[in-house]
Each structure stands twice: as structure tokens, then as C-alpha cells.
Amino acid sequence: MSAPSPARGPEGPGDRLSRIRRRFGEFATEYADLPLYAALCRNLSEDDEAASLLLAARPGQARPVLWLAAVHDLVLRNPDSTAAQWYPSVVRRRAPLEGDPWPDVRQFALAHRAELEACIATHGTQTNEVNRSVYVALGLALAAADVPDLPVALLELGASAGLLLGVERYAVELTAPAGREGEAPVRLGDPGSPVRCSGVDRRGVARRLGEHGVGLPRVAARVGLDLAPVDVADDGAVRWLEACLWPDVPGRVERFRAARAVLRDDPPVLVAGDMVDDLPAALARAADGAGPDGHVVVLTSWALTYLDPARRADVLDHLGGLAARGRALSWLSAEPPGCVPGLVTTVEGVAGVEGNTVLGLHRWRDGRALEPVVLGTCQAHGAWVDVSPDLVESTVLHQSSR
Ligand SMILES: C[S@@+](CC[C@H](N)C(=O)[O-])C[C@H]1O[C@@H](n2cnc3c(N)ncnc32)[C@H](O)[C@@H]1O
């Protein structure tokens, strides 16, 4: 029999720092293709003094992305600093400077230690990824395919700044997969928009929808519900969201800024609240915006996954409550596998693909619920969608109560 192991005491600052440094090392390995962030994290994994800024984080928040976001935020506020010249989001270069960014960034971070610690102690990272409009546009077209003439009120739960609510005001391109590069992309939304979103349509579903005459419906109202909504007019709050983006990923920050500019003159209604407790009021607001016969399309994108699993069925119950009154209602979900009640996520390959997102559709028509459909899968930031045109034809286009 082996000797009992000594009881483990609470983790001390030295243990925490070792764990933080290890996480920086893991980040550098996992994202080795990011020239700036991989270089910073590689150095941080060996630098106690710089890595120790993360000791200020709230419990559970001491992740490399928080350090990176805090420094990015400071760099965005100090665009003339030497450190800022390494950030494509500041100097607007597609490729970062040649050489080693660490000496400049380290010196900058340590010179602003107190400010950065205050930021790290009070913030968490948050994402509102505009390129997700690729799967939102496709899903919205499908949600409205059987009721194309009804005005839509879009209600996003976990909307953040509500940038996805502007989907049909963006130029969304679904491009042909490798080997079929000659085919023109299918375009949804506003082709002249400065907001350019793009993803590979692995199975050509967008083209097939076009052949059926399926496109985006008219969006009459947009409502977002979030525990901590971000007002697109609030420069500080928007800059933090921007700072949470990775400046190394080409086009990401530019797309974010363009979407903010487009929505600023006509922003969605954003409501602070919980997606279960405050859902009935948000649904009533969306229904008002849709008009008496309008179609309410509820969207969740990487949001339900943050809700306690025991509360997820409550979302479905509230939606069923509104739909029972006869209104056309749809719920488009883009969440990790196994997250959305009522969706049987047996899509081949779902569990095995890194960063995968299941695209699902619940619909209620004329007071009754249709069979929920797993449309397919997509990359978490909309880089590709994998939806079978045959499945969509049999389950969405040819199965409805109308
Ligand atoms: C990862 S962000 C996704 C934002 C956006 N849907 C997107 O796809 O870009 C998740 C959002 O869900 C919100 N959230 C988490 N739990 C929530 C809850 N119980 N009720 C309302 N919003 C919630 C967070 O505040 C955050 O803005």
C-alpha cells in the first residue's frame, strides 16, 4: 500500500506564477503562427516580472489573453509609443515589423505596471466577433425560408455590443471550397457595405439556397439582451472589446471597427439583463418591433454555453410560451456541441473538430413546434460552414406547416 500523500495547502503566489508562466508557454505553442502574440507569450513564459502582472486578476481570470488584452488596450491608447509600432491594429500594417517585439513591449508594460494591474484586476475578456455573420446570415436565410415575406425582428441573447445584429447591413461572402476556386462566391447582405465578412461554404449550401430563391428577409427590428451590453457609442467600452481581439489576425480589427461605424448611426436596442429571467420582456419588445404578424428570430451565438446547463431548458420554455400565441418564431443557435436543448448533435465529426460550433434551428409555426434541425457545423469565427444542401432541402425547405 502506498504512503498517504501530504495534504495540499492553498496555492501560494509562487505556485500561481509558475502556473501563469506555463499557460503563456502553452499559448505560444498553440498559436505559434501568430507572429506578435506567440513571441510575447514565449518570452512571458520565462519572465517572472512581466508575467506577474496577471497575479492581479480575479479568481479564474488569470489567462494569457487577459494580459494580452490589457496591454493591447494600453497600446491603443498610446499609439505613438514604441511598443505600439509592433501592433498591426495600430500601425495598420498587414505584417508586423521585422525583429523581436519583446524588449519594447516588456519595457512599455513594466513602465505602466500600476495601470495594467488595475485593468487586469477589474476586467475579463469578452468577444463580439463580426465574421460570425457568415453563419448568422446563412442561418437567418434558412430560418425565414418558409416565411420569406414576413418582417423579422432579430433578438440576440448574449449580444455583447450587438454587432451580429447588423448582419444584413454587411457584405457577407460564402466562397467555394478548395478545388472549386473558379466559382464566384455567393453574396448575402449589402454588397456595398464596408464590413466584409467571408467564410468557405464547404458543401455549396448557399448556392443551392440561391437556386431556391432563398435570401435574407427584411429585418424590421433588432434587440440585444446581455448581462453586460456594450454601447457602440461608448468609446472606452468599445476599445476594450477591440483590445480583446487578436491584432495578429488580418482583417479582424478592421472588420470590428467598420461594423461599429455602420451601427453607430442606427444602433440595435440593447437591454441589460439575464437571458432567462429577462427573456419574456425582451421577447415582447422584439414582437412589438416585428409587428402583429412579424417573425421573431432569436439568435444565440457562443452565449448559451455560458448559461448554467440547468437553466438552458428555461430558454426553450419561454420561446414556446410566445410561440403558443401563434406567432412565427425561430431560434437560430450557434453553440458548442451538446449545449442547446432539443438538438440531437450527432452530426458526424462534431466532437472531433477543433473550435467547432453546431448550427441549429428550432421553429414554431401556427402555434406548434416543428422538429428541431441540426443544420451542420461551422468554425467558431465563421471561417467555414459545413451544412449539407440535401439535409437542408429535406428538413427546412420542404418541411413546414405552411
Ligand atoms: C462570447 S460572448 C458572444 C457575443 C456574441 N454573441 C458573439 O457571438 O460575438 C458571450 C456574451 O454572452 C453574455 N452572457 C453570458 N451569460 C449571460 C446571461 N446569463 N444572460 C445574458 N447574457 C449573458 C456575455 O456578457 C457576453 O457578452
Around ligand 1, the residues with Cβ closer than 6 Å are 126-129, 132, 158-160, 164, 225-228, 274-275, 301-303, 306-307
Q: Is 244 within a domain?
A: no
Nearest-atom index, ligand 1, CA of 300? 6
> Looking at the predicted structure, is the pLDDT value of residue 7 above 90?
no
- Mutating to test ligand 1, I would choose from 61, 65, 125, 126 the residue with most ligand atoms within 8 A of its C-beta, which is 126
Q: Which three cell numbers stand for residue 241?
A: 472589446
One domain, residues 335 and 360: yes
Regarding whether 141 and 96 lie in a shared domain, the answer is: no
Q: Which of 101-110, 293-302, 344-353 has the lowest mean pLDDT?
A: 344-353
Nearest ligand 1 atom to the CA of 299 is 6
CA of 303 from ligand 1 middle (Å) equals 4
Q: Using DSSP, state whether 60 is helix, strand or coil.
A: coil
Residues 147 and 292 in one domain: yes
Phi-psi region of 126 (alpha: psi -120 to 50; beta: other; left: phi over 0): beta
Q: Region 262-269: what's the mean pLDDT?
A: 94
Residue having the nearest C-alpha atom to atom 14 of ligand 1: 158
Instruction: Encode pLDDT of 94-136 as tens digits.
Output: 555 678 999 999 999 999 999 999 999 999 999 999 999 999 9
Beta-carbon contacts of residue 336 (< 8 Å; ≥ 6 apart): 302, 305, 356, 357, 358
Q: Which long-range contacts (CB under 8 A, 24 or more apart) does 39-45 make?
A: 39/100, 39/101, 39/102, 40/68, 40/101, 40/102, 40/105, 41/68, 43/102, 43/106, 45/21
| Residue with cell string 497600446 | 75
Domain co-membership, 366 together with 386: yes
What is the rounded end-to-end Cα distance, in angstroms, of the chain? 70
Q: What domain count does the chain have?
A: 2
Query: Could you tell me the distance, in angstroms and rounded to a whole number, from the CA of residue 81 to the centre of ligand 1?
Result: 33
Q: Are residues 182 and 323 in the same domain?
A: yes
Cβ proximity of 72 and 105 under 8 Å:
no
Statement to judge: residues 152 and 46 lie in one domain: no
Instruction: Clarify whether residues 277 and 297 are in a common domain.
Output: yes
Instruction: Please indicate, yes or no, if residue 161 is contained in any of the structural domains.
Output: yes
What are the pLDDT digits (tens) for 145-155? Answer: 999 999 999 99
Structural domain ending residue among the three candidates 78, 99, 122: 122
**Statement to judge: residues 210 and 289 lie in one domain:** yes
Q: Which domain holds residue 193?
A: 130-231+267-397
Mean pLDDT of 53-70: 95
CA of 143 to the centre of ligand 1 (A): 21
Q: Pick the residue whose CA is nearest to atom 23 on ligand 1.
A: 158
Kindly state the percentage of the chain with pLDDT values over 70. Answer: 92
Q: Same domain, yes or no, for 321 and 367?
A: yes
Residue 9 Cα to ligand 1 middle (Å): 35
Q: Does some domain include residue 274?
A: yes
Are both 84 and 146 inside the same structural domain? no
pTM: predicted TM-score of the whole model, two decimal places: 0.90
Same-domain status, 67 and 147: no
Residue 330's pLDDT band, with cuts at 50, 70 and 90, is very high
Residue 2: per-residue pLDDT = 40
**The last residue of a domain, from among 100, 122, 144:** 122
Q: Which residues of 77-93 are buried (b: 16+ CB within 10 A; e: fewer)?
A: eeeebebbbbbbbbeee
Q: For position 158, what pLDDT does the model report?
A: 97
Which grid coordinates belong to 286? 422584439
Is pLDDT above 80 for 13?
A: no
Residue 192 CA, ligand 1 centroid: distance in Å: 29
For 1, other C-beta atoms within 10 Å of its C-beta total 3
- How are beta strands 384-387 and 373-379 bridged, if at all? antiparallel
Question: 170 and 297: one domain?
Answer: yes
Q: Among 70, 93, 122, which residue terminates a domain? A: 122
Task: Give the torsion sign (CA, 6, 7, 10, 16).
Answer: positive
Q: pLDDT tens across 160-191, in order? A: 999 999 999 999 999 998 888 788 999 999 99
